[in-house]
């Protein structure tokens, strides 16, 4: 069995990422050139920690986008002859190099780590976005109206937050729950919130322009209905948003566990911002409560919410890895980082290379999000 040298492994890995390096150079170069005009995102370029965090996040973002180009093998292809081979092993027929070696099934560890980033970058940000929409739609009226509505919603949020997160995820993703209608029912409720949110955004803003409002609401209903049918009923006629087995359960679990935390943040920010003069001015003009909440309060709460979103995506990534490690994530052959770490850890004493790369990938992505969140927090405090 032939092996590549350390130099060939390093240069091969670096060259594999050529589309990633190109996209990072273009995006960060253009952004740095015009960063004074890019609001909060542009000010991240004034922080060293922010630049490092942004570079790491962009690296994994473009890696997920170009996963098919970067990875030399299909993440599911098994080569019995390359079973548990060390990094740098060459495929005897094709001559392709498994830069990080093979796992216990002979699958390329490097390719599985690359394709695992795509799974993380789809589930974690999307589920966090849905959780934010749910938290915003409940937190705004709770903080604005207060009273009995605030008491009831806060009690429900605290009830969920009081439950251990890992145990909560275990109960929502366990095989027994998968066979019931509970995940689909919860998804049916949660995934209505984005449609309601954008509907209220347009109604509160353009109610005096009915023709434009009708077009916007029609677009929301068509696009929102397509996404809703695809995610809840797995009935996407185009196959773009079709879900893998157990993805819906994980999605629902993330939204259910994260939205109460977002609710508390939005509620507290709303209580504070509602006392400002520009909110009183909007109320004096006769603006509706939802106009005040969505167009006066929410934009002025964007700094803390963006920071929390970065941190929450990192937490969700760790939770996805934990679920995969416990066998509660996606299907066993999935290349997601948690499952890959679990498969590699079973022979950890004999072979380190299958488990170490996905663990480092997960750690680096979360580190990049934390550095980016710290930089965003520092810059938002200057507003």
Please report, in tens digits, the pLDDT of each residue of the chain (383 residues total): 688 888 999 999 999 999 999 999 999 999 999 988 888 888 899 889 899 999 999 999 999 999 999 999 999 888 888 888 888 888 887 888 899 988 888 899 999 999 999 888 888 898 899 999 999 999 999 999 988 999 999 999 999 888 887 777 777 777 666 566 777 888 889 999 999 999 999 999 998 888 999 999 999 999 998 888 888 887 777 777 777 667 788 888 889 889 999 999 999 999 999 999 999 999 998 889 999 999 999 999 988 899 899 999 998 888 888 888 877 767 778 888 888 888 888 777 778 888 899 999 999 999 999 999 988 888 776 65
- Tell me, yes or no, whether 142 and 267 share the same domain: yes
Residue 31 makes CB contacts below 8 A (sequence gap 6+) with 38, 41, 42, 45
Identify the domain containing residue 52 by its residue range. 6-116+337-380
Give a yes or no: residue 323 inside a domain: no
Assess contact for 231 and 171: CB atoms under 8 A.
no
- Tell me, yes or no, whether 251 and 148 share the same domain: yes
Residue 116 makes CB contacts below 8 A (sequence gap 6+) with 75, 335, 336, 337, 340, 358, 361
- Tell me, yes or no, whether 19 and 97 share the same domain: yes
Maximum distance among all Cα pairs of the chain, rounded to whole angstroms: 79
- Tell me, yes or no, whether 219 and 159 share the same domain: yes
- Tell me, yes or no, whether 91 and 208 share the same domain: no
- Tell me, yes or no, whether 138 and 199 share the same domain: yes
- Tell me, yes or no, whether 308 and 350 share the same domain: no
- Tell me, yes or no, whether 176 and 82 share the same domain: no
Alpha-carbon distance 107 to 84, whole Å? Answer: 9
Give a yes or no: residue 182 inside a domain: yes
Query: Which of these three, 272, 289, 318, is where a domain ends?
Result: 318
- Residue located via tokens 């509970």: 182
- Tell me, yes or no, whether 13 and 146 share the same domain: no
Give a yes or no: residue 306 inside a domain: yes
Give a yes or no: residue 276 inside a domain: yes
- Tell me, yes or no, whether 257 and 151 share the same domain: yes
Write the DSSP string, 76-125. T---GGGTTPPTTEEPTTT--EETT-B-TT--BHHHHHHHHHHHHHHHHH
Assess contact for 323 and 329: CB atoms under 8 A.
yes
Give the count of domains, the chain. Answer: 2
Q: Dig out the tokens for 66 from the structure.
A: 């170009």
SS3 call for 3: strand
Nearest to 253 by CA among 313, 180, 319: 319
Assess contact for 133 and 262: CB atoms under 8 A.
no
- Tell me, yes or no, whether 185 and 56 share the same domain: no
CB atoms near residue 140 (< 10 Å): 26
Give a yes or no: residue 331 inside a domain: no
CB atoms near residue 39 (< 10 Å): 11
Which pTM value belongs to this model? 0.89
Query: Which of these three, 265, 287, 318, is where a domain ends?
Result: 318
Write the DSSP string, 327-356. T-SS-TT---HHHHHHHHHTTTTT--TTTH
Give a yes or no: residue 221 inside a domain: yes
SS3 call for 205: helix
- Tell me, yes or no, whether 51 and 15 share the same domain: yes
Give a yes or no: residue 324 inside a domain: no
Q: Dig out the tokens for 195 from the structure.
A: 């449609």
- Residue located via tokens 């290349």: 335
Nearest to 359 by CA among 325, 326, 334: 325
SS3 call for 251: helix
Give a yes or no: residue 327 inside a domain: no
Assess contact for 13 and 71: CB atoms under 8 A.
no
């Amino acid at each position: 069995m032939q092996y590549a040298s350390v130099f060939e492994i390093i240069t091969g890995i670096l060259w594999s990422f050529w589309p990633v390096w190109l996209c990072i150079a273009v995006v960060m170069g253009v952004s740095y050139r015009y960063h004074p005009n890019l609001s909060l995102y542009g000010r991240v370029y004034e922080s060293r920690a922010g630049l490092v965090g942004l570079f790491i996040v962009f690296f994994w973002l473009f890696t997920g986008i170009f996963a098919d180009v970067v990875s030399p093998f299909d993440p599911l292809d098994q080569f019995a002859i390359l079973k548990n081979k060390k990094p740098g092993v060459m495929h005897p027929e094709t001559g392709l190099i498994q830069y990080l070696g093979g796992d216990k099934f002979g699958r390329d560890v490097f390719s599985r780590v690359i394709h695992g980033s795509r799974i993380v970058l789809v589930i974690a940000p999307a589920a966090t976005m849905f959780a934010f929409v749910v938290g915003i739609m409940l937190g705004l009226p709770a903080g604005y109206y207060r009273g009995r509505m605030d008491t009831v919603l806060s009690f429900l949020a605290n009830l969920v937050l009081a439950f251990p997160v890992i145990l909560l995820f275990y109960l929502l993703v366990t095989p027994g729950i998968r066979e019931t209608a509970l995940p689909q029912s919860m998804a049916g409720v949660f995934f209505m919130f984005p449609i309601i949110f954008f509907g209220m955004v347009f109604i509160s803003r353009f109610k005096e322009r009915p023709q434009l409002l009708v077009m916007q609401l029609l677009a929301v209903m068509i696009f929102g209905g397509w996404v809703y049918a695809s995610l809840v009923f797995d009935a996407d006629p185009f196959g773009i948003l079709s879900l893998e087995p157990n993805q819906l359960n994980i999605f629902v679990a993330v939204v259910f566990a994260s939205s109460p935390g977002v609710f508390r943040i939005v509620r507290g920010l709303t209580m504070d911002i509602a006392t400002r003069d520009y909110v009183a001015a909007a109320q004096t003009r006769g603006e509706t409560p939802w106009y005040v909440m969505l167009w006066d309060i929410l934009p002025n709460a964007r700094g803390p919410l963006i920071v929390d979103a970065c941190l929450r995506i990192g937490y969700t990534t760790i939770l996805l890895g934990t679920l995969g490690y416990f066998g509660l994530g996606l299907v066993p052959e999935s290349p997601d980082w948690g499952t890959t770490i679990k498969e590699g850890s079973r022979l950890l004493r004999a072979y380190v290379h299958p488990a170490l790369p996905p663990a480092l990938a997960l750690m680096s992505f979360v580190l990049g999000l934390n550095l980016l969140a710290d930089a965003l927090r520092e810059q938002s405090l200057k507003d």
